[in-house]
């Protein structure tokens, strides 16, 4: 056995040479840069970023990097171990002084670095968003850090599943399904769950009988306010506040909620991060189930009815942040996948799955 990080470094170097030595990798990176350039130009024109600031451009580019990273990473990591096993090169590596843990961790780091190359390629466009202004240092640091961690989680899941499943194609597909479950499945679960779990809301109304007022809208003779009979209506309201936790596991919500720190003086978010985070935190608020509208009392007092509402920043500050919960779940998911891969790949193997190739 050789030093852990020395052996891990050997696996990382070997894996990276296999991944990036082909022309296809550079073509893929070039297409990514072109697409992100196109997105940056269109966003600048659509949001009038030269005048309004670069918050929208910066946050959208970060989301674009996360989107493409999670689309490419499963293909690059989902066959890391079983691909070598199928080609007969895994057993050759296992008979050296490199341990199973070094192989698994090395392949994960190599897959993560490959995904981070997309983030590195987007740096000029992120700098462009900063030059436009309106983005704080905390938003920059947190969004890039959390995005990098999310890409590492996807790489860990891909490498982990490639060590657990025998067929490379199957492990790549399952990795895509895991990414889809986190990115889209959580949104579907939130929407359907909130609609399925409903509560009965009651609205009690006591309205003024406007037909009995004089031409000036006053009570004739200064008597009591003429009121219509009290009406009580009930209806069903969805309870998104009971299922908002599904959104906490969404990687885009995690990035947005962690990075949403920029608001205008009027309490409006400056970027896409803020709007998403405010929407998620507003979903935590339970609906008002017992509402009383007494227009007679308001008319009697002579004061106009108040319609004060919270600003987005007040909603943001009053709710509970969820990004660290979602990030913790993702990290545990990735760590569990790597541990499972280590358990299924370690040698000597007590039992091999049917169809496993040794060398």
pLDDT along the chain (359 residues), means of 10: 79 81 78 87 80 79 88 85 81 82 91 88 83 79 91 93 87 93 93 91 86 74 79 90 90 89 81 88 88 80 67 85 90 94 79 62
**How distant is the alpha carbon of residue 144 from its chain centre?**
13
What is the model's pLDDT at position 178? 94
What is the model's pLDDT at position 1? 56
| Residue where the block lists tokens 């196109």 | 38
What is the model's pLDDT at position 147? 93
DSSP class of 78: T
What is the model's pLDDT at position 154? 93
What is the model's pLDDT at position 20? 67
Q: Which residues of 179-206 are buried (b: 16+ CB within 10 A; e: fewer)?
A: beebbebbeebbeebbeeeeeeeeeebb
| Residue where the block lists tokens 């893929």 | 28
| Residue where the block lists tokens 């490199």 | 98
Contact yes or no for 230/239 (Cβ under 8 A): no
What is the model's pLDDT at position 305? 62
What is the model's pLDDT at position 272? 85
Q: Which residues contact 280 (CB under 8 A, 6 or more apart)?
A: 244, 247, 248, 253, 256, 257, 322
Distance CA 148, CA 254 (A): 12
What is the model's pLDDT at position 328? 92
Q: What's this model's pTM, rounded to 2 decimal places?
A: 0.83
What is the model's pLDDT at position 160? 92
């Amino acid at each position: 056995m050789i030093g852990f990080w020395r052996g891990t470094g050997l696996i990382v170097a070997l894996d990276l040479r296999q991944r990036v030595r082909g022309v296809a990798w550079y073509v893929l990176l070039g297409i990514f840069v072109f697409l992100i350039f196109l997105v940056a130009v269109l966003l600048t024109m659509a949001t009038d970023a030269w005048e309004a600031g670069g918050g929208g451009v910066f946050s959208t580019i970060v989301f674009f990097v996360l989107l493409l990273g999670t689309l490419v990473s499963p293909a690059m990591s989902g066959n890391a171990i079983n691909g070598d096993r199928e080609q007969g090169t895994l057993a050759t590596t296992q008979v050296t002084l490199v341990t199973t843990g070094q192989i698994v961790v090395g392949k994960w780091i190599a897959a993560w670095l490959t995904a981070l190359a997309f983030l590195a390629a987007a740096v000029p466009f992120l700098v462009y968003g900063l030059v436009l202004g309106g983005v704080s240092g905390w938003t920059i640091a947190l969004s890039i850090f959390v995005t990098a961690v999310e890409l590492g989680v996807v790489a860990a899941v891909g490498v982990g599943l490639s060590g657990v499943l025998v067929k490379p194609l199957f492990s790549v597909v399952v990795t895509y399904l895991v990414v889809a479950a986190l990115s889209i499945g959580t949104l579907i679960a939130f929407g359907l769950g909130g609609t399925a779990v409903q509560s009965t809301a009651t609205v009690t109304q006591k309205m003024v009988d406007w037909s009995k007022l004089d031409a000036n809208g006053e009570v004739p003779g200064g008597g009591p306010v003429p009121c219509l009979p009290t009406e009580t209506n009930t209806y069903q309201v969805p309870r998104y506040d009971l299922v908002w936790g599904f959104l906490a596991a969404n990687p885009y919500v995690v990035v947005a909620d962690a990075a949403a720190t920029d608001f205008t003086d009027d309490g409006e978010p400056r970027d896409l991060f803020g709007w998403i985070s405010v929407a998620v935190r507003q979903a935590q608020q339970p609906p008002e189930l017992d509402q009383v509208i007494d227009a007679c009392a308001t008319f009697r007092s002579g004061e106009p009815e108040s319609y004060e509402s919270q600003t987005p920043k007040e909603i943001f500050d009053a709710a509970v942040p969820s990004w660290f919960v979602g990030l913790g779940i993702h990290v545990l998911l990735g760590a569990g996948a790597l541990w499972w891969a280590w358990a299924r790949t370690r040698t000597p193997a007590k039992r091999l799955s049917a169809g496993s190739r040794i060398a």
